[in-house]
Amino acid sequence: MKRDITKRILYDSKYLNIVYPIINSSEFKKRKDWIHHENITLGEHLLVVSYMSYLICKKRKLNYKDAAIGGLLHDFYNEPWQDHLFEKKPFLKSHGFVHAREAMENAYKYFPELMNERIANIIDKHMFPLTGIPPKYKEGWIVSYVDKKVSLDVVINIKVLPKYLGLTRQIKKIKKFFKRK
């Protein structure tokens, strides 16, 4: 499925025109080969979420442009999180809880001319329900749903789910605690 979508993106000039300033930027190029989940790169994940959200929003006559941009920037975090899985961090500072805000700040920092309040909200609330407050716009619900759908396709093995949520260290600690008993 992923390969089909990547092929479709290449021929969809309307979509490419919207996202071109981002995919052609040095900040995107810097992140695109980071490993996101298992064998999926961050670049592939961002493009698939962005394009699927774009198609759904277009079909439903919603703001497909904002969905494409929000989808492409929803995981625009600062560093390859898989390299820091075992770092000591307070629970609420783990990747699953902080990366959406980080991505939103980076979106404003690197692409201020493309941003608006709806795109910011799409990015900031995409991890709902993990981070409490739901997305404000329909486009945000769609990006959040597509993100979970494609991510869970990858982490279909329940054992890697904590890793996806950035909870690896906490789960290890709990396991250790029960082993001691």
Residue 44 binding Fe ion, by CB under 5 A: no
Residue 144: name the closest of 81, 82, 52 by CA. 52
Q: Which residue has the tokens 């298992």?
A: 38
User: Alpha-carbon distance 42 to 122, whole Å?
Assistant: 18
User: Alpha-carbon distance 48 to 75, whole Å?
Assistant: 12
Q: Indicate the residue type of 157.
A: N
- x-marked contacts with Fe ion along 60-99 as a string, rule CB under 5 A: ---------------x------------------------
CA distances from 80 to 1, 9, 97 (A): 25, 25, 15
Q: What's the closest the beta carbon of residue 151 comes to Fe ion, in angstroms? A: 6
Applying CB under 5 A, among 147, 163, 164, 167 the residue interacting with Fe ion is 147
Nearer to Fe ion (CB atom), residue 14 or residue 93: 93
Nearer to Fe ion (CB atom), residue 14 or residue 109: 109
In the three-class reduction of DSSP (H, G, I as helix; E, B as strand; rest coil), residue 127 is classed as coil
Nearer to Fe ion (CB atom), residue 75 or residue 124: 75
User: Alpha-carbon distance 135 to 120, whole Å?
Assistant: 10
Nearer to Fe ion (CB atom), residue 1 or residue 181: 1
User: Alpha-carbon distance 77 to 96, whole Å?
Assistant: 11
Residue 124 binding Fe ion, by CB under 5 A: no
Nearer to Fe ion (CB atom), residue 66 or residue 147: 147
Q: What's the closest the beta carbon of residue 47 comes to Fe ion, in angstroms? A: 11
Q: What's the closest the beta carbon of residue 137 comes to Fe ion, in angstroms? A: 17
Q: Indicate the residue type of 150.
A: V
Positions in the binding site for Fe ion (CB under 5 A): 75, 147
